[in-house]
């Protein structure tokens, strides 16, 4: 029946084709019309799905704190007094991206990976921004711009963080157990935020737009909040792992001439993610794996005198810097030997590492030095 139907359709198309047009051209024309109709339906579905998510976000916020939703568009001066400064200063964050980005050896560029005073505070004292108290109208979800796709989840998560801070100060009553009952909404919101950040990191603009900086602020505050991070990471851990892998690949594969200022912002975000205890160990494992694989490939290329990827060689130093900083932070904060973490990737990294360093030290002294520094941290938990 299916074969007969296809044959009948083919004859119908041939008989109905307009004069001066071949059967192939007419079929391609019909296929284009149908595909455009399909695209229109897909777009309508996306709009409706976005609207459903927005309504679910409003419903979840109302369940967590009805009073907050009722007073959402009123100015609350007491709340403004309660909330502190942003954990990341958007002005300073954006100003770092205004440089040409050609210098990759600037030590101050990597202070924010672990020494930044804003993130050296306890996770129990995560502050949110006064800017978050600004009331915004409901999103126009029919706009499909990249900015809108990032702004939508940011606004929801901002309000969630705001409720968390106000409830901590005793200003609002909030029931965060509702997050357990609606994992769909929180997962989709975080996923949209991570996808939006990935899109912008893949095609960065300078200076960084404010909504990108705001998105990073929300993400970092979300995973460092002691109460919300448990809900978020439990439901979105796989998505967070995928996000970290994407950022690492963005660093490794970027081949633009003036790429270092873009890669700096990516590496900064990776370092800030590593401030979370749950995410740190998995991030260290990912970085160990990438650095080890590149070292083995570089050794093989060196032994057979073949060409190696010079761009990836330049980019690998960013991963080495992040890895070293995370290992130092792990040792300083936990005050234990690094032998207590790392697992299988640590064993693979240290295996035959001395031989790799020995063979590469003459031709690639700087990379060999970084390998040695990382190995010292893994073996002893402190720089010698």
Per-residue pLDDT tens for 177-192? 888 888 888 899 999 9
Locate all alpha helices (DSSP H) within 225-276, ordered by sequence. 228-253, 260-273
Count of Cβ atoms closer than 10 Å to residue 308 Cβ: 15
**Residues 351-373: tens digit of each pLDDT:** 889 999 999 999 999 999 999 99
C-alpha angle 212/216/217, rounded to 5°? Answer: 115
- At 75, list the tokens: 């100015």
Tell whether the model's pLDDT for residue 349 goes beyond 60: yes
Count of Cβ atoms closer than 10 Å to residue 326 Cβ: 23
- At 108, list the tokens: 């101050």
Locate all alpha helices (DSSP H) within the chain, ordered by sequence. 2-16, 23-64, 66-70, 77-82, 90-95, 146-168, 178-181, 183-202, 210-224, 228-253, 260-273, 277-303, 310-334, 343-350, 353-360, 365-380
Looking at the whole model, is its pTM more than 0.85?
A: no
**Residues 120-140: tens digit of each pLDDT:** 443 333 343 333 333 334 434
Q: What are residue 110's phi and psi, to 5 degrees?
A: -110, 10
- Average pLDDT over the chain reads 77
* Structure confidence at residue 265 as a pLDDT band (50, 70, 90): confident
| First vs last C-alpha separation in the chain | 78
Distance between CA atoms of 32 and 36, rounded to whole angstroms? 6
Distance between CA atoms of 56 and 153, rounded to whole angstroms? 12
Beta-carbon contacts of residue 34 (< 8 Å; ≥ 6 apart) = none
Among 332, 333, 310, 322, residue whose Cα is nearest residue 374: 322
Tell whether the model's pLDDT for residue 100 goes beyond 50: no
Q: Give the pLDDT confidence score for residue 146 in this predicted structure.
A: 63
Q: How many CA atoms lie within 13 A of 279 on its CB side?
A: 28
Q: What are residue 304's phi and psi, to 5 degrees?
A: -100, 5
The packing angle between helices 353-360 and 365-380, to 10°, is 160
Among 346, 368, 369, 373, residue whose Cα is nearest residue 287: 346
Q: How many CA atoms lie within 13 A of 44 on its CB side?
A: 6
Sign of CA dihedral 100, 105, 107, 112: positive
Distance between CA atoms of 23 and 361, rounded to whole angstroms? 67
Q: Give the pLDDT confidence score for residue 371 in this predicted structure.
A: 95
- At 141, list the tokens: 């979800």
Distance between CA atoms of 336 and 330, rounded to whole angstroms? 8
- How many residues comprise the chain? 384
Tell whether the model's pLDDT for residue 380 goes beyond 90: no
Q: Helix, strand, or coil here: 98?
A: helix
Tell whether the model's pLDDT for residue 341 goes beyond 70: no
With contact defined as beta carbons under 8 Å apart, do 149 and 192 qualify?
Answer: yes
Query: What are the start-end ranges of the E strands in the chain?
Result: none
Helix or strand (DSSP H, E) at 361: none
Phi/psi class of residue 268: alpha, beta or left (left: φ > 0; alpha: ψ in -120 to 50)? alpha
């Amino acid at each position: 029946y299916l074969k007969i139907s296809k044959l009948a359709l083919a004859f119908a198309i041939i008989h109905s084709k307009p004069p001066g047009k071949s059967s192939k051209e007419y079929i391609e024309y019909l296929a284009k019309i149908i595909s455009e109709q399909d695209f229109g339906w897909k777009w309508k579905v996306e709009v409706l799905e976005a609207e459903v998510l927005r309504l679910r976000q409003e419903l979840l916020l109302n369940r967590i704190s009805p009073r907050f939703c009722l007073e959402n568009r009123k100015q609350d001066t007491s709340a403004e007094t309660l909330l502190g400064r942003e954990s990341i200063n958007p002005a300073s964050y954006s100003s770092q991206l205004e440089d040409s980005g050609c210098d990759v050896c600037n030590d101050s560029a990597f202070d924010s990976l672990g020494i930044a005073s804003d993130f050296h505070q306890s996770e129990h004292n995560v502050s949110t921004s006064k800017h978050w108290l600004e009331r915004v109208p409901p999103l126009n979800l029919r706009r499909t711009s990249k900015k809108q796709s990032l702004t939508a989840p940011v606004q929801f998560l901002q309000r969630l963080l705001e409720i968390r801070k106000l409830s901590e100060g005793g200003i609002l009553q909030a029931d965060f157990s509702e997050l357990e009952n609606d994992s769909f909404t929180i997962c989709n919101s975080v996923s949209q935020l991570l996808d939006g950040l990935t899109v912008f990191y893949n095609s960065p603009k300078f200076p960084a737009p404010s909504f990108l900086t705001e998105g990073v602020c929300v993400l970092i505050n979300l995973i460092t909040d002691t109460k919300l991070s448990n809900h978020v990471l439990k439901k979105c851990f796989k998505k967070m792992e995928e996000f970290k892998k994407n950022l690492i690949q963005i660093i490794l594969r970027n081949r633009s001439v003036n790429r270092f200022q873009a890669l700096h912002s990516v590496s900064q975000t990776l370092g800030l993610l590593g401030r979370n205890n749950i995410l740190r160990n998995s991030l260290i494992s990912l970085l160990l794996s990438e650095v080890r694989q590149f070292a083995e490939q570089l050794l093989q290329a060196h032994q057979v005198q073949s060409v190696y990827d010079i761009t990836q060689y330049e980019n690998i130093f960013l991963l080495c810097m992040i890895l070293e900083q995370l290992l130092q932070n792990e040792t300083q904060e936990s005050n234990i030997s690094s032998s207590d973490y790392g697992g299988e990737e640590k064993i693979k990294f240290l295996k035959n590492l001395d031989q790799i360093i020995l063979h590469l030290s003459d031709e690639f002294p700087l990379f060999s030095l970084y390998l040695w520094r990382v190995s010292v941290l893994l073996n002893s938990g402190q720089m010698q």
